[in-house]
Structure 1
Amino acid sequence: MKLEDSVILPCGRETAWAALNDPEILRQCIPGCEELTQDAPDHMTAKVTLKVGPVKARFAGDVTLSEINAPESYVLSGEGKGGVAGFAKGSAHVRLEEAGPEETVLHYSASADVGGKLAQIGSRLLDATAQKLARQFFDKFRDAVADDEATDA
């Protein structure tokens, strides 16, 4: 499964970068996220509950940041296990591009693999769910950085 898109954020690149590295902001924006803990500057652990079609599962996973080029880009790699529901693993290349003093374009390109019951659901439903979750995340993230900019002003 592959996802690729760009999102315009109503903030400067430094603000967007700080938010992308803030576990509390990410926890609030990730759909179904119950817990997100930063163990090291380049590592986080998470607990997320998601429903994909008829399968609802609680995933425990790890997220690692690599190829960090602050405040421009990094690669996120993650793997989560959801018990009998299966597993998910993937990575995303995230790049921030200045589009003006108070506007940043976030580009992302992600790929993921799933196994277990999740893999039996079918690629159409998985793709639709992944796109919906990405939209939810970026809508909340856009609101979070807009609120952060308003607070700083």
Structure 2
Amino acid sequence: MMAVLLSGNYSLPASQAEVYAALNDADVLRECIPGCEELEARADGIFAAVVRLELGPLKTRFRGKVRLEDLDPPNGYRIIGEGDGGIAGFAKGGAALKLAPDGEGGTLLSYEAEANVNGKIAQLGQRLIASTSKKIADRFFETLVKRLQNETVTAEAK
């Protein structure tokens, strides 16, 4: 078992309420999560997902569940999740997401995450897993920013 720690900050071009709503919308999440093949919102803040991941030479499909806890709209929540990548291994972890106004009508999102991995994934090494995880997070938020910008432009055009 190997632990990987991540944290980051992103500036998002929408209000806290809009960002919070987007981060709870299965359609938005499905579009933004790199490699997401399926995402289904279930009862009680649980999402079931199938995500195709490439970690260095390892390509695998993870099936997993994510649960949202400590909901504090529109200020943030905690995510707890686990995924099974078959022979590639298993991952579980969590993240705390915090949203705050940026003073210019947008939102500053900050997160701290920890993941524990085992199996072939853990053999890849902490540095590769951490850098790949950071790239995935960056791609997620880049896509979310574009989506929020498009929604703002569409709303202003009406």
Shorter-chain TM-score above 0.5: yes
Question: Given residue 145 of structure 1, which amino acid in structure 2 is its aligned partner?
Answer: L
1:40-99 deviation digits (Å, cap 9, x = unpaired)? 241110000011011111000000000001111100011000100001111010011012
| Cα distance between partner residues in 1 of 2:34 and 2:9 | 19
Is structure 2 residue 110 aligned with structure 1 residue 107?
A: yes
Whether the aligned pair in 2 keeps the contact of 1:12 and 1:100 (CA below 8 Å) is no
Question: What is the RMSD computed on CA atoms of the aligned residues?
Answer: 1.0
Partner of 1:83: 86
Instruction: Select 1:44's aligned residue among 42, 47, 59.
Output: 47
Partner of 1:95: 98
Q: Which runs of 5+ in 1 are unaligned?
A: none
- The CA deviation at 1:101 is 5.5
SS at match of 1:143: helix
Once superposed, which parts of structure 1, at least 4 consecutive aligned residues long, lie more than 2 Å away? none
Is structure 2 residue 73 aligned with structure 1 residue 74?
A: no
Partner of 2:8: 5
Identity %: 42
- Count of residue correspondences: 153
| Cα distance between partner residues in 1 of 2:120 and 2:34 | 20
TM-score, normalised with respect to structure 1 = 0.96
Is structure 2 residue 158 aligned with structure 1 residue 133?
A: no
| Cα distance between partner residues in 1 of 2:38 and 2:134 | 22
